Structure 1
């Protein structure tokens, strides 16, 4: 099993209790560089430092990710491998690309992720800024997705978004609470709870 753990924006005390417990319990911990290694140092001192280069050379990035997958695979196949990622694993991180390689080359390996404090929520606290209303978050790429919060009528919202080219929808209701439900494009409910998020992708 491979578990990607979000380790937050930099302060070791901003890791979740679940993240710390997994880091301590893992057969082997992997980190994508020295910054991540230093963040988890209070909880684990023997991580394997992997190379995830910051470069525009896509071929080189792909080779590095494939090599990292080969390093992680034997541990994940036979035990618990924990991959620590700055911020949140699924928010502009490397985990998705690593999973694509695992799916292709090591389909027998199961994986999932544990959320962490993302740079967006950390930014709001660090700057004392209360974020509300409509917000655009982008890395400069073409906008291909939206996230809507507190969606009470998801079918209605999805029908409206389809007019703008959105076709893939995921609804998460009461995440990590009792009664959590995840819905896909074909089974969106007419109504949902206050604690809900709708993802729309083109």
Structure 2
């Protein structure tokens, strides 16, 4: 059986991919790392299929490692016996808790098969919202705001969290 890491898109329930929707409908349990991803997933699966995983918002590596191991230990038996999903906003491979869970499963539970179902990330979704065309010669630069002041320049400024 398989654990699917499903990207839910940037938070709008209508931006889930067709493949993501199909996988959500086919799995036995859907794990969510937070309220917003749970809200999006609940549009596609019954509440009885949803299960929450806790991940601390900290930079303490020991606490993070422990949380990832705990989550992997909960997910692994279900994913060995039936299809399961871990949902995340955006794409599972871009700044996502899923990457930590996938690596921990690989190291601690290598018998679990994992498949990524890509999602629309905010990195690409913002272009539609702001009407920005990225094409040959387009230049995007990521800058962090200093003391809350947005960096400015001659080209468009795009801020993404």
Q: Could you say which structure has the greater relative contact order, defined with CA pairs below 8 angstroms and 6 or more residues apart?
A: 2
The 1-side partners of 2:18 and 2:71 are apart by 26
Whether 2:106 is the aligned partner of 1:106: answer no
The 2-side partners of 1:92 and 1:28 are apart by 23
Whether 2:19 is the aligned partner of 1:14: answer no
How many residues are paired up? 139
What is the TM-score normalised by the length of structure 2?
Answer: 0.80
Bigger Rg, which one: 1
Q: Which structure dedicates a bigger proportion of its chain to helix?
A: 2
Cα distance, 1:135 vs structure 2: 3.3
Segments ≥4 residues shifted beyond 4 Å: 136-139
Secondary structure at the aligned position of 2:14 is classed as helix
Map of 1:97 onto structure 2:
100
What is the TM-score normalised by the length of structure 1?
Answer: 0.64
The 2-side partners of 1:37 and 1:48 are apart by 9
Whether 2:146 is the aligned partner of 1:123: answer no
Whether 2:4 is the aligned partner of 1:3: answer yes
Give RMSD over aligned pairs.
Answer: 1.6
In structure 1, the gaps of 5 or more residues are: 140-202
Secondary structure at the aligned position of 1:48 is classed as strand
In structure 2, the gaps of 5 or more residues are: 145-161
